[in-house]
Structure 1
Amino acid sequence: MAPQKFRQPPQAPPLFTGTPESVVKDTKELLAKSKKIIDDVVAQTSEKDASFKNVLLPMAYDENDQTLSAHVLGFYQSVSTDQALRDASTEAEKLMDEYSIEASMREDVYKLVDSALKRKEELDPESQRLLEKEHKSYIRNGLNLPAGPKRDRFKEIKLRLSQLSIEFSKNLNEENGGIWFTKEELAGVPEDVLETLKQEDGRYWLTFKYPDLFPTLKYATNTETRRKVFVANENKVNQNVPLFREAMLLRDEMARLLGYPTYAEFVIEDKMMKSAKKVDDFLAGLRGRLADGGLDEIKTLKALKKKDVESRSEKFDDRYFLWDHRYYDRLMQEQDYQLDQNLISEWFPLQSTILGMLKIFEELFGLVFVEVTGKDRDTISPTGKGDDIVWHEETQIFSVWDDEGEGGGFVGYLYLDLFPRQGKYGHAANFNLQPGFITQYGTRRYPATALVCNFSKPTPKKPSLLKHDEVTTLFHELGHGIHDLVSRTTYSRFHGTSTVRDFVEAPSQMLENWCWTPSQLKALSRHYSTLSEDYNKAWQSSNSTNSDKPSETLPDDLIEKLLKTKNLNGALFNLRQLHFGIFDMTVHEPESHKEVEELKISELYNHLRNDISKLDGPEALGEGDNWGNGQATFGHLMGGYQAGYYGYLSSQVYSTDMFYTVFKKDPMNQKEGRRYRHTVLEKGGSQDEMQTLIDFLGREPNSKAFYKELGLD
């Protein structure tokens, strides 16, 4: 970390002092104020006088102001330990969505925006983009439909879809199931994982949270244990099954009301790909290239499974199941590549790894991160109480600054919330808390952004240790956080990661490459035994047969072994992503509404997974395709990635192109790092994303590097 004394930031961080009562009250007041501003615009402006300045600007300034409170009001449902506060936050989001739908379908406002667009004023590019996007959003919200039953039905659908999305997400966040296992049934699961599990009468309660789920699927030697865990996880929120089905039906009906042949066409029209056919062709082409590789990988893994089960005098079933894959993928790393991920994790204690990552961002982008602790929190808190600027005692907060070369100014706030708890968002994600923008007075508002993750908690003997794939996940989400922090847009609408969905992952996916670079793996790593004398003693007691003291940073031989596994079973990994992407497109582009009504969604999800990934599920045991409801756990398809999950793969094309073209030879090139910051990250969604790529690459992006990386060129 760059040396930096604590400085008083020019802007206070957001407060997290909401109560169940205040959250709903504040939301209603916020929306009433917003409605009055729009009502005043309508009352004071005629169509012939409508302009960007008197119609769009007041609404844009109101949107800017709204986001300063709205994001936090909706954030409590993902992080609060208080059930009542989570429920109030969910209600607040519902109210905000309902208001947004109401406002987006106001014909009186649409007529003014339409007139402002037709005025053809000379505007700066970002303002012109705001005007065009706003105009198009009214059309996409049904205002090209005649007033009456069709438009009323469209509005009903929008409101119901909002309710379904909120309920679906809440069910996932509140999920608290699990399975009791004996120690024998959990044979092979690392002891430090077992130590964190609830115990009762000699049995262990295994939840479906990632720190429990993934190690069990990777290490449990008992096939039946892995099968039980896998199938139960696919069925952990079956109350979402009817919600998902209803959403598919409503989305299809909505698209057809607007004159689109499918919901996918409606969504993708506004993205980089532009058409569903282009997406389908992209996914089909990738599937064709990956299919043979996937079968070859399964053949090798199946041979490994045969050898493993027969070594235990068990009968080989000549199958390779979904619950086999994490186990034998890990075993292959250990046996064929002599790579032990548990051993690797000893060099990636969570806190020192985070500091190493922040140091990379400091050097590459010209930033300085200063952790705010103790009395310094009181100093920057608007209330004078440091507890008021965090939502949980485990939350870390950093003030972020430009280094001297970038001007030394304030950038924003970064929050980290890293461990699982009941009611908390269950995956890893970046949440914007307050966007940056230019105020109506010409001053800049600075952003605040939060990483919400679920890594294993430290134990008395060990700190939280990250497997390499968790290191990559953390770096990816931090990449979103940096995108959020360094963005410099005029309007909050375009700030940071507010880009089209088939581009938004590209900047973070590109940064994942730093986790596969020898010099950066060295820089990120530090053996946990060097962190404190207590940890050193704990390491020595658990390694009594090994007298050699571990090196402080990850040894070269382990780095070499790790790098050899970068694309190990890569075809199967990408076929898994293809399953998600193709399922998403399949449910969103049936030729008729009747076909949507007749969709057997769970069967389709499971059938496609088997057909695309070639991994067997319970259907191979004669249980049919209706054994699980994975779509009910698939939050992306209810939370913004519907008819857009392909974006993870298309973004990978762009990210690999950027890395190979600019950074592969010298990942820590500071000149290029700063150029990337200012050319790509700073722009957010303020200009066409293809233009952003062209500006950075000096040409249009292509797939060559992507296929080369996968060995498919």
Structure 2
Amino acid sequence: MTNPLLQSFNTKYNSAPFAEIKEEHYLPAFKELIDQSLQEIQEITQNPETPTFENTIEALAYSGEQLDVVSNIFFNLNSAETNDEIQQIAQEVSPLLTEFASKISQNEQLFSRIKKVYDEKDHYSLNEEQKMLLEETYKGFVRNGALLNDEKKEQLKNINIELSKKSLQFGQNVLAATNQYYKHLTNKDDLAGIPEAILAQYEEEAKERNLEGYVITLQFPSLLPVLTYAENRELRKELAIANGKKSFDGGEFDNQNLIKELVQLRQEKAQLLGYKSFADYVLEERMAKSPQKVLEFLNELLTKAKPFAQKDVEELSVLAKANGITEMQSYDHAYYAEKLRKQKFDFNDEELKPYFQLDKVQEAVFGLAGKLFGLEFVETADIQKYHADVKTYEIYEGENFKALLYADYHPRKGKRAGAWMTSFKNQYIKNGENHRPHISVVCNFTKPTSETPSLLTFNEVTTLFHEFGHALHGVLANTQYPNLSGTSVKWDFVELPSQFLENYCYEPEFLKTFAKHYQTGEVLPDEKIQKIEDSKNFMEGYQTLRQLSFGILDMSYHAENVKVEDVKTFETETIKATQVYPTLSETAVSTSFSHIFQGGYSAGYYSYKWAEVLDADAFQYFKENGIFNPEIAAKYKVLLSSGGTKDPMELYKNFRGSEPKVESLLKRAFG
């Protein structure tokens, strides 16, 4: 059997040959490519020449290229277009990759060569990027156990394999629990308050399941309208509890024991490597540097934001009391927030949606990238896709091909919830050739119906800009080495480009270029634009507290000597200072907290708020000098294209001229 994953891709730009890949190709490809990559490592270690930067550090940076490509293809599909077979393969492949990583990081011959180059680094004439690669390579090996004895290395390898399997299982459980639940209704009166356009989606969902009436799922575009608009409080409660019970109901997809195991394994790993806690281990490689600094940062924001959050809830309680509700619950928040927003600003998301046609919003974000960075996007039919919904674009800067973009916007059974940017192929320069990246933006926006195109809420507009900010970090990448390219930066710096781009959604001069009614072409009226601006910080106190609760919960799971005997109790105690509503005993945040138990945000969720300080400060610089200022855009482009080649604070100061100020965020959030 010819395996396309083991051949040169005979495709435009060497893009992934999705049409030719079958599930049975993955496992043999992984096994073969792991062997090939280990052979490359052996060639480095057995090189009879004295270790040098070129024959050791650089050779290692460029090794395993095809394995990286196949891993990206496989794991991206496991998130965006998975099935039972792919999930099963993932369970088999993840331990193989973890063991492979351990074989490299614990290869004594390889490390001795790296250490020799590192110890003699002053003898080399290295440029800034080469110095960073050497530093990161050496630290990476030490942080992966290179200085441990053989017994401890074996322990670490086994811990890493278990962590890999269990975090994968965590994500699979969340997806299965999400897909398992649906609410079937036949009486339209039960859905009073929900806009007709949303009801049409529920009807379509019912038809797809061969049912009469309406079906609501736990996919976000289906769930959120119930919580926001449904007059039926019992329905809001039922859906909110169903969502909060995901993987917390003691059933087949329960994640409580997995959380305890993951926390314990991470703690063991950190202590084995000589750190007090997993948070200490992680934060050594972040801008924040220590758990103490993160907690000081989070608690400073908590102190400032809590009075605003309490004021937010008090305002909502007045409306709820008019409906006879004496004690508001968390599942009442979105409903009464929408009512108050309507009352204060006289608009709601549904009346804005006709002005935010997905195609036009995408055009706008493409146009913004053109205005700031000189990029042009051209849709192409020459690139193979993993699903019919996906659209592909060639990106150019002048005559130069810059990147390939996959845009995947609509929910389906095989796609996990949320929105994310990822890459199928990284940018790097080798033998004088600049290999350009293949970037993917994945979202879960409402599908078009036979009657209407895909229309976005304003929140979804900002989501698209957010993910596209990440994409630009990848698209503009221009570094020598793949492991310093694009989004390969400190984790608490990675959200700066994404959150920065969201700011443009609130700028009237820019909004008017694309916010046009999909039927009439009418530009979004000035008074509605003013209301969007006025409402920008609506419920900001509550939203800040919510984000802080996630950050504090994450840090607590990864703190020194942490003991989790009962997930719900631990969670409740940890975040009680951030809570402004009674806790629902049937629900838990932790059991579907994929960011920290499946994704890469463990001991790093605070990064969102940390990066908000950066993005508020950065955009303030543009605001003071013009939001399309070409000189400042050129400096910002240097920051984006530099990837992880410099310390992020140095990159930021080169762009801004000074360190970021927390006051920029507080001013934007609370005036």
TM-score w.r.t. length of structure 1:
0.87
Query: How far is 1:616 from its partner?
Result: 2.2
Contact 1:10 1:410 in 2 (8 A): no
One-letter identity of the residue aligned with 1:179: K
SS in 2 for 1:414: strand
Contact 1:694 1:700 in 2 (8 A): yes
SS in 1 for 2:453: coil
SS in 2 for 1:411: strand
Structure 1 residues 674 and 93: CA distance shift in structure 2, 3 A: farther
Contact 2:595 2:602 in 1 (8 A): yes
Contact 2:302 2:548 in 1 (8 A): yes
Aligned pairs (5 A) from 1:256-655: 256-307=271-322, 309=323, 315-317=324-326, 319-373=327-381, 377=382, 381=383, 389-403=384-398, 408-439=399-430, 441-530=431-520, 552-590=522-560, 592=561, 595-596=562-563, 598-618=564-584, 626-638=585-597, 639-655=599-615
Contact 1:20 1:89 in 2 (8 A): no
Structure 1 residues 88 and 664: CA distance shift in structure 2, 3 A: farther
One-letter identity of the residue aligned with 2:604: G
Note if 1:676 corresponds to 2:667: no
1:542 counterpart residue number: none
1:13 counterpart residue number: 15
**C-alpha separation between the residues in 2 aligned to 1:569 and 1:563?**
13
Structure 1 residues 340 and 428: CA distance shift in structure 2, 3 A: same
**C-alpha separation between the residues in 2 aligned to 1:611 and 1:62?**
48
Structure 1 residues 395 and 456: CA distance shift in structure 2, 3 A: same
Moved more, 680-689 or 577-586: 680-689
**C-alpha separation between the residues in 1 aligned to 2:91 and 2:377?**
32
Contact 2:616 2:664 in 1 (8 A): yes
One-letter identity of the residue aligned with 1:134: T
Gap runs ≥5 in structure 2: 1-10, 249-253
1:696 counterpart residue number: 655
Contact 1:77 1:90 in 2 (8 A): no
Aligned pairs (5 A) from 1:171-186: 171-174=173-176, 175-176=178-179, 177-181=181-185, 182-186=187-191
TM-score w.r.t. length of structure 2:
0.92
1:95 counterpart residue number: 96
Note if 1:104 corresponds to 2:105: yes
Structure 1 residues 391 and 44: CA distance shift in structure 2, 3 A: same
**C-alpha separation between the residues in 1 aligned to 2:12 and 2:127?**
28
Contact 2:486 2:640 in 1 (8 A): yes
Contact 2:622 2:628 in 1 (8 A): no
One-letter identity of the residue aligned with 1:637: I
Moved more, 212-221 or 82-91: 82-91
Contact 2:405 2:440 in 1 (8 A): yes
> Deviations along 1:553-600, whole A, 9 cap, x unmatched?
11111101111000011011010000000001111114x2xx42x443
One-letter identity of the residue aligned with 1:584: D
**C-alpha separation between the residues in 1 aligned to 2:417 and 2:94?**
19
Structure 1 residues 465 and 662: CA distance shift in structure 2, 3 A: same
**C-alpha separation between the residues in 1 aligned to 2:579 and 2:625?**
34
1:4 counterpart residue number: none
1:622 counterpart residue number: none
**C-alpha separation between the residues in 1 aligned to 2:624 and 2:524?**
21
Contact 1:105 1:138 in 2 (8 A): yes
**C-alpha separation between the residues in 2 aligned to 1:611 and 1:298?**
15
Query: How far is 1:131 from its partner?
Result: 1.2
One-letter identity of the residue aligned with 1:206: I
One-letter identity of the residue aligned with 2:420: A
One-letter identity of the residue aligned with 1:316: I
Contact 2:549 2:578 in 1 (8 A): yes
One-letter identity of the residue aligned with 1:286: L
Note if 1:143 corresponds to 2:103: no
One-letter identity of the residue aligned with 1:112: R
**C-alpha separation between the residues in 1 aligned to 2:512 and 2:573?**
43
Contact 2:540 2:670 in 1 (8 A): no
SS in 2 for 1:123: coil
**C-alpha separation between the residues in 2 aligned to 1:420 and 1:568?**
28
> Deviations along 1:314-341, whole A, 9 cap, x unmatched?
x322x22111111111111111110121
One-letter identity of the residue aligned with 2:480: T
Aligned pairs (5 A) from 1:107-146: 107-120=108-121, 121-146=124-149
**C-alpha separation between the residues in 1 aligned to 2:621 and 2:662?**
12
Contact 1:499 1:685 in 2 (8 A): yes
Identity of aligned pairs, percent?
A: 31
Shift >6 Å, 4+ stretches: none
> Deviations along 1:400-437, whole A, 9 cap, x unmatched?
0003xxxx311010110110111212110001110110
One-letter identity of the residue aligned with 2:402: V
**C-alpha separation between the residues in 1 aligned to 2:78 and 2:524?**
39
Structure 1 residues 338 and 604: CA distance shift in structure 2, 3 A: same
One-letter identity of the residue aligned with 2:182: G
**C-alpha separation between the residues in 2 aligned to 1:366 and 1:561?**
31
* Equivalences, count: 644
Structure 1 residues 399 and 156: CA distance shift in structure 2, 3 A: same
Query: How far is 1:64 from its partner?
Result: 4.1
1:547 counterpart residue number: none
**C-alpha separation between the residues in 2 aligned to 1:217 and 1:670?**
43
Match of 1:228 among 210, 223, 238: 238
2:265 counterpart residue number: 250
RMSD between superposed Cα atoms in Å: 1.9
Query: How far is 1:10 from its partner?
Result: 8.0
Structure 1 residues 553 and 609: CA distance shift in structure 2, 3 A: farther
**C-alpha separation between the residues in 1 aligned to 2:82 and 2:440?**
17
**C-alpha separation between the residues in 2 aligned to 1:106 and 1:194?**
59
Contact 2:94 2:164 in 1 (8 A): no
> Deviations along 1:57-106, whole A, 9 cap, x unmatched?
22111144443333113222122265424543554444323312332222
1:218 counterpart residue number: 228
Moved more, 11-20 or 50-59: 11-20
SS in 1 for 2:667: helix
Query: How far is 1:196 from its partner?
Result: 2.0
**C-alpha separation between the residues in 1 aligned to 2:498 and 2:305?**
24
2:218 counterpart residue number: 208
Structure 1 residues 45 and 601: CA distance shift in structure 2, 3 A: farther
Moved more, 105-114 or 605-614: 605-614
One-letter identity of the residue aligned with 1:511: L
Contact 1:400 1:411 in 2 (8 A): yes
**C-alpha separation between the residues in 1 aligned to 2:128 and 2:12?**
29
**C-alpha separation between the residues in 2 aligned to 1:627 and 1:80?**
31
One-letter identity of the residue aligned with 1:415: Y
2:158 counterpart residue number: 156
**C-alpha separation between the residues in 2 aligned to 1:494 and 1:419?**
31
Contact 1:101 1:159 in 2 (8 A): no
Structure 1 residues 201 and 273: CA distance shift in structure 2, 3 A: closer
Gap runs ≥5 in structure 1: 1-8, 310-314, 382-388, 531-550, 619-625
